[in-house]
A and B are shown apart, each in its own frame.
Chain A
Amino acid sequence: MNIDHLVSMANDISNFFDGEVGEQEAHTSVALHISRYWDPRMRQQIIAHAAIGGEGLCKSALEAVRALPPPPLRDVGATRGSNG
């Protein structure tokens, strides 16, 4: 995924929650939103970006991403949902 795009998306989410709950508290809501709506590989990518400084991320976005738990590892091989 294009990291600039992910940064832009995270900032857009932060813009909303900065207004809704204030910049000090927004990171919790931003983190929740990202957890609920972003695919794990997108979360992984933005977490890795934040880990090396998070260039471009606004304050609450950076705080939110740093608070995200590591997403689950994704299978490399073919597995379908069926248990049978």
Chain B
Amino acid sequence: MYALNHHDHGTPAVHGAPVTLSIDGADVTVPAGTSVMRAAAAAGGAIPKLCATNTLKSFGSCRVCMVEIEGQRGFPASCTTLVAPGMKVKTDSERLKKLRSGIVELYLSDHPQADAAGDRSELRQVAKKLGLGSTTRYGEDGQTHLEACKDESNPYFTFDPAACIVCSRCVRACNEVQGTFALTVQGRGFDSRIVASQDDGFKESECVSCGACVESCPTGALTEKSLQIAGQPAEAIKTTCAYCGVGCSFTAEVKDQQVVRMVPDRDGGANRGHACVKGRFAYGYATHADRITRPMIRAKITDPWREVSWDEAFEYAASEFRRIQEKYGRYSVGGITSSRCTNEEAFLVQKLVRAALGTNNVDTCARVCHSPTGYGLKNTMGESAGTQNFDSITRCDVILVIGANPTDGHPVFGSRMKRRLREGAKLIVADPREIDLVRSPHVQADYHLQLRPGTNVALLNCLAHVVVTEGLVNEKFVAERCEPGPLQRWKDFVSQPKNSPEVMESVTGVPARLVRGAARLYATGGNGAIYYGLGVTEHSQGSTAVMGIAQLAMATGNLGREGVGVNPLRGQNNVQGSCDMGSFPHELSGYRHLSDEATRQSFEKDWGVTLDPEPGLRIPNMLEAALEGSFKALYVEGEDPAQSDPNTQHVTAGLAAMECVVVQDLFLNETAKYAHVFFPGSSFLEKDGTFTNAERRIALVRKIMEPLGGLADWEVTVRFAKALGYEGMNYTHPSEIMDEIARLTPTFTGVSFEKLEREGSIQWPCNGAAPQGTPTMHVGEFVRGKGRFFITEYVPTQEKVNAKFPLILTTGRILSQYNVGAQTRRTPNVAWHDEDRLEIHPHDAEERGIANQDWVGVASRAGTTVLRACITEKVQPGVVYTTFHFPESGANVITTENSDWATNCPEYKVTAVQVSKVHQPSQWQKRHAEMDRKQKELLRRARAQAGPA
């Protein structure tokens, strides 16, 4: 069932030359290729329909939409009939009404009296317009499907075959929109029915629970369980998803300040009306019983928590920070923002650290994911962000995916990518694993470059070698747009034999012929676009690899227009935004270095303080300094380094060495177990603000319900700053914070809440030069002027396999869980993934006597953990893989301190390990379980003492 405010014109919009026709006596002009149904809608009419919808190609099965066309025999379906100049159409007549009524009456004769959609059922609405009731002339006798069993296996929606009219909208939605092809019509005639996979039931089938079928269902046969429980919503509020970097726009349908369901916004610039299982369904964590809604303090992390008022919590935190600065120095404190924060909240945290605490020791979650993107793209092209919008994929001819798994990590964009591939675009995948994109229904990679982990730069150099030595450089483009000296040095470098695919084959593990084929395809196949993810950045040469990617794009002229580009797939909803907001220790908002005096002075004037011009500590440096004794207090909003950062034992030792850790979050997460102050945080349903997605698209987040803790996140930071004695945060609404951001940040000068309300979303830069924002960057020239090439010498990682640790562990994500799992583990999504597992190749498993589902110890030089084995050929021999969504799995106990040379982004993707069959948890897991039990007990005691909220 579509959203409350959905306008369905029946068939998709098209572009074409204008065609004028007559509908019910009135002329209407529409593009050629438009259906008669849509033309009628454009003319203000509405032809009844059931199988047609404007999100899917027309199908013509229900025949309810038939019309009369002068000069044509019979009664053609208006959804499949295209307009023609001078066509004369009649959409209503007694004859048409009789025919339509006959069809709809037949549907109603085999339909329950009441179904889950109620009055919003399109079938009932069409019936009502035709003057039909729920009883028909056919009576109660005769064969029906009313006794068919419901499929309630999916935790989020029900399939009731009794209410299904086999219009196949769901099948087509799964095919055309989602691209999973999980549904089909089984049987013929009266026996036709919708089944999932091989009639496996939705949960066990290939269905990925995106909900596109549910939304498209016209009868309520597929309906959200939440809708069935809560009833029809009363209002609709647009907001932005808080999960991945796609940043889908949603309409939250709300009743009594509770979300009934989330429906993707058809006009959403990032998602164009589609969603995934997380954004659409997994919002229940916001009201989970684990939510902590009252501030708490304690002197030591072994003490019980004590619930206190907000005032007492602020006073205590501030007094501790001041005491620590007095004792250990100004620079012994700092803060961490995260993508959980809105832009406004991230801006305030870095402002608090700089202005109230007087230090630049502030960092953000991007440290551990896309910080190399910022460095690499800034240096080559001049801006720390991707170059395109998501719509650009519709004009791609060749898609190169490196170190990303869009169908799991960015599912809505993954679906759009698959649609383009089904339309004929070519695909090159560079990944150690056989990700879903390599081979899935109607999609197959033309090249899968299955390289060894840690050899991205070697591979990129090989691709560049082919481009340069085979004369595939776009000489016109580079001559106009790139610095000539560095370009020539780069050409000379990549041309060297050592960078040839043949020489590098033994390093990368990729056959030379595949590399040559892929390079030629990317360089000559038309519009070539590169999409990359953490499989590029989370390496010791992450920044170098990003430069290599940008240079490939520059060399082949694949920049500065639609259909091409360099597209970092940012993992989280506002990681781009938190970077934009100056959450880095060396930069102010808009990626301007602290040493830039004019920039610093503008902030000093606005904030009323003198700012330190020296860079501060990054997160790993903070932890090291804590162990050394010179860093003692930390304010963390929304981030969980104790679970997400590498070498867990090192991280927790660092946290334990601090004297005041302040955590602002929804739950008692891993970091909060080492905290002394807990500020209850707010979910995205409880806040007003903006997120910025991977396309640089700034979109509004709108409050659905009041913050459960009583204060919005931005208010918490303001009050904390005030308690620290800083009076420079006087806001009454987040829009005023954005006004300050716009005042101080050249790429944001045109951004305001008022403009966002009007436009829906804006892609920065948005300023005088680009008042409507910037969908495509580097048009005409690069932000830095001329593009710059760098020598990207391949330097092997220090993390080497050896006899003791002969395998390489790499990590990633899975569709149903998100990041550290704090949100998704508290939703029914655990039905699909209830623990992290170790993927291991059959050969490696057999060598070790490991069977599927066996418990296995995974040991590295950093530590050991135990996971259950999953034997699969998705990984190559010598490589194992796991996810990091469950704290008890300890995936980061085994990752090391190796990091990117430029940014210290951890090398999560390359850890030398050994795997062996075990029969008990690791020592770390035993200690973790005990720590977890103790901390939960301390929390339970605090809550019991305080009584109900």
Contact = CB atoms under 8 A, between A and B. Distances in A.
Interface of A: 1-2, 5, 8-9, 12-13, 15-16, 18-21, 33, 36-42, 71-72, 74-84
Interface string B338-381: 00000000000000001111110100000000000000000000
Contacts of A9: 899, 901, 904
Given A76-B329, A77-B330, A79-B330, A1 B586 contact: no
A81 B609 contact: yes
A79 B610 CA distance: 11
A45 B901 CA distance: 18
B615 A82 contact: no
15 contacts: A16-B793, A19-B795, A38-B615, A39-B331, A39-B614, A39-B616, A39-B621, A42-B621, A71-B614, A74-B329, A74-B330, A78-B330, A79-B330, A81-B612, A84-B727
A39 B617 contact: yes
A80 B355 CA distance: 7
A16 B585 contact: no
A80 B615 contact: no
Contacts of B609: 80-83
A76 B325 CA distance: 8
A15 B610 CA distance: 36
B544 interface: yes
B608 A19 contact: no
B103 to A, nearest CB: 70
B585 A39 contact: yes
Given A15-B793, A82-B356, 19 more contacts: A1-B625, A2-B627, A2-B628, A8-B798, A13-B901, A16-B543, A16-B793, A36-B615, A38-B615, A39-B614, A39-B616, A74-B329, A74-B330, A78-B326, A79-B330, A80-B356, A80-B609, A81-B609, A83-B608
Interface string B655-689: 00000000000000000000000000000000000
B901 A81 contact: no
A2 B790 CA distance: 30
B287 interface: no
B273 to A, nearest CB: 42
A28 B624 CA distance: 27
A74 B331 contact: yes
B743 interface: no
A1 B621 contact: yes
A75 B728 CA distance: 23
Interface in B591-641: 593, 595, 607-612, 614-617, 621, 624-625, 627-628, 630
A80 B357 contact: yes
Contact of B902 (A8, A21, A33, A40): A33
B595 A41 contact: no
B553 to A, nearest CB: 19
A80 B352 CA distance: 10
B726 interface: yes
B540 interface: yes
B630 A41 contact: yes
Contacts of A5: 624, 897
A84 to B, nearest CB: 6
Nearest to B898: A8
Contacts of A15: 793, 795, 901
A64 B726 CA distance: 39
Given A39-B621, A83-B608, A16 B616 contact: no
B330 A36 contact: no
B45 interface: no
A23 B187 CA distance: 72
